[in-house]
Structure 1
Amino acid sequence: MITKFTVGNRDGSSAWDVSELTNNVKWVTDLNFAAGTLTFDVIKTDELFYPKSGDLVEFEWDGFKVFYGYVFKVGYSQDKKFSITAYDKLRYFKNQDSLVWPVSTVSQRFETVAKMAEVSYKVVNSSDYKLPAEVADGKTYFDMLKTAIDATQKATQQMFYLFANYDTVELRKAPYNQLELIVGDQSLMTGFSFDKSIEDAANIVRIIRKDQEESQSVASTSTDEASAEKTSEDPEKTSFSYTDSKGSNVGQWGKLQTTENAKDKANDAQIKQRADELLVEKNRETYSLRLNAIGDLSLVAGNSVHLQISDLHDVGFVIESAAILKATHNFGPNYNCELEMKVNEPWLENSSSS
């Protein structure tokens, strides 16, 4: 049950208790570089409650501190109801800036942008991996950290993410908490959906080098004409060379080809290595698992759970554990949550299900 729900001035000088006036309370956490969101409706009463942009929202459930954030959107309808959207402090990581990053770790870059966003922060898990110097021009703090997190994960196989732990933004490593909870047929789960796809897969990677005898740029007094000349290419002076990497499942899936342009100074060995690396990345099925479950506050993005789903097992797919990518909590008398899971390749009971 709701044990605290207030909306008030940002400096804390005054606040309205809306715990008895609210419904449709929904809390979302997401690993995909997005702020945590709390949406809710408040019934208007005779009290002078008029939520303002930037108002502080604090929400607790069963004494657990769930959400601390600020009002960003307010709607009002003819049935005398406010519909409010609040974001946690990660919302300020959408701020844009231009920075020159020195050689530094993702932990150091997180600390820098958190200070620039003027939010309270904590490095829960740090990284020693040194990222190369780079220029970030007109990018959001989210985008800057995504670049750093992706590069760190590729180099170290460690996945970092951002999470607003009530009023403090944290840098964590996933899975943050490997819960002992079992979500499945006899425990918490009320429904599921699973699918696999090769829509974005590629089993042939082609690295292309373009050779031109001379520059195709032609001087002109007209900007439009010059642009057209620069983008046009003479077929007689242009040729391509190809380096391919091919998967073993072309016969099963058909030919699914993707291309990438070779780097200017890459030699043949480096081009082949890049093709092989890209094939490993692209030549795979993707899996999606969504769960409906009885509400539990530990089921948030970044944590992982054990799974026991007999219906999946019966058709050949065994997924013993998975991390939570996105969690939507619907508070109320029938408190429940919807979970999007990160599924690695399931173990297959039999090859006919692959």
Structure 2
Amino acid sequence: MQIVIHNKENNKYYMPAVQDDVIWELNRKGTPGKFTFKLLKDTLLEFTEGDTVQANYDGTNFFYGYIFSKKRDKNSLVDVTAYDQLRYLKNKDIYIFLNIKAGDAIKRIADDFQLQTGTIADTEYVIPKYRGSNDTLIDIIQNLLDMTTQNVGKIYVLYDNFGKLTLSDVEDLKVNLLLDNEAAEDYSYESSIDKDTYNRIKLYYDNKDEGKRDVWLSVDSANIKRWGVLQMTKSVNPKKAINFAEMADTLLKSHNRVKRTLSIQNAFGNLKIRAGSMFYINLDFGDVKLTKPIIVESVKHKFSNNLHLMDLTVRGDVITG
């Protein structure tokens, strides 16, 4: 593990003596990448909030971010917390977008807040209208991406790729990796229909011009017989979408299933695995045996004594968590 701190004021670079564990945490939605480590402070090392940190493990650059906090004890050990560029998307602002793709909106926001961008995927769907009123930038962006997913069925992931905001289709984040019982120390698996499971979708719009309520339904009768009626009812706005019958079908496809959650502890580490990555699992849970692709919802990379392990929360196919 090699960590380099750049002091912007004196334009000096430092390679500190890092103590104990180094942790890199990533989530697919709504949270910046977080990098924490502990170092030994000496008389030569000078750094402060806002200085940059970059990290390299086994020859691979994997984190570039900014110091946001440091805590020192009497033994001159300093706990450092740094975040990647997504931290600056916690700023709030007001945006009104008309006839714009989510990817183009991201470029505009990044330019307004002086953020560096890398490859931004073409998100295809043109959003007719969106207004974010004093919301965090990351929530505005996620709302735009969720609207895109509802209308085209594709999942997009926003992340920081070593100092550049990047937007990718999850299909482009596949990693050639198979994780089985031998590659993970432990896992926790749960199945439930108690939360976020629906077999009937009802979308409605109160059409004041015609004095009536327009309704669109998408129903799975077989699962209603199996589970009883589990209905999602949602108001929609014609200015934000076009085909509501198709939207209802897409929502049913997404929610009409047993919610299964899977977390994996102490799997062998792989720096290609980030929140939004796809890879294969081969695990037997008793009620279901899976050899399926999954999507990483969150990952914690742990580096200690030249050992790289990771904790994962995943979803995909029957893992809906």
Structure 1-normalised TM-score?
0.76
1:322 aligns with 2:294: yes
Deviation at 1:38, TM superposition (A): 0.3
Q: What's 1:191 paired with?
A: 186
Question: Separation in 2 of the partners of 1:306 and 1:105?
Answer: 31
- Flag the 1:135–1:258 CA change in 2: closer, same or farther, 3 A: closer
State the shift of 1:12 in Å: 7.0
Q: CA deviation digits over 1:167-203, x for unaligned, max 9?
A: 11111111333222211134x3332222121111244
TM-score by length of 2: 0.83
In structure 2, give the amino acid aligned to 1:72.
F
Aligned mate of 2:160, from 135, 160, 164: 164
Check if 1:9 corresponds to 2:14.
Answer: no
Superimposed CA distance per residue, residues 43-87 of structure 1 (whole angstroms, 9 cap, x where no aligned partner):
333x25354211111111111111111111112234432111100
Q: Give ranges in structure 1 of 5+ residues lacking alignment.
A: 211-239, 265-269, 347-354
Higher strand fraction: Structure 1 or Structure 2? 2
Give the 3 Å change call, closer, same or farther, for CA 199–11 of structure 1 in structure 2. farther
Q: Which residue of 2 aligns with 1:95?
A: 91
Distance of aligned partners of 1:198 and 1:71 in 2 relative to their CA distance in 1, 3 Å threshold: same
Tell me, what secondary structure is at the counterpart of 2:65?
strand
CA deviation digits over 1:292-316, x for unaligned, max 9?
Answer: 311111122222112222x33x543
* RMSD between superposed Cα atoms in Å: 3.2
d(CA) in 1 for partners of 2:140 and 2:217?
Answer: 32
- Of 14, 18, 22, 2:19 maps to 22
Amino acid aligned to 1:253: W
Question: Any idea what SS the aligned residue of 1:175 has?
Answer: helix
State, as a whole percentage, how many aligned pairs show the same letter. Answer: 22
Deviations 1:124-179 (A, max 9, x none): 42123211133222122212211211111111111111111111111111133322
Counterpart of 2:279 in structure 1: which amino acid? V
Contact 1:25 1:41 in 2 (8 A): yes
Number of residue-to-residue matches in the alignment: 307
User: What are the ranges of 5 or more consecutive residues in structure 2 without an aligned counterpart?
Assistant: 207-212
Distance 2:126 2:137 in 1: 19
Deviation per residue, 1:224-267 (Å, 9 max, x gap): xxxxxxxxxxxxxxxx9x99876533454345455446879xxx
Matched, 1:175 2:149: no
| Equivalent residues of 2:302, 2:310 under 8 A apart | yes
Q: Give yes or no for the alignment of 1:126 onto 2:122.
A: yes
Contact map agreement 2:95 2:133 (CA 8 A) in 1: yes
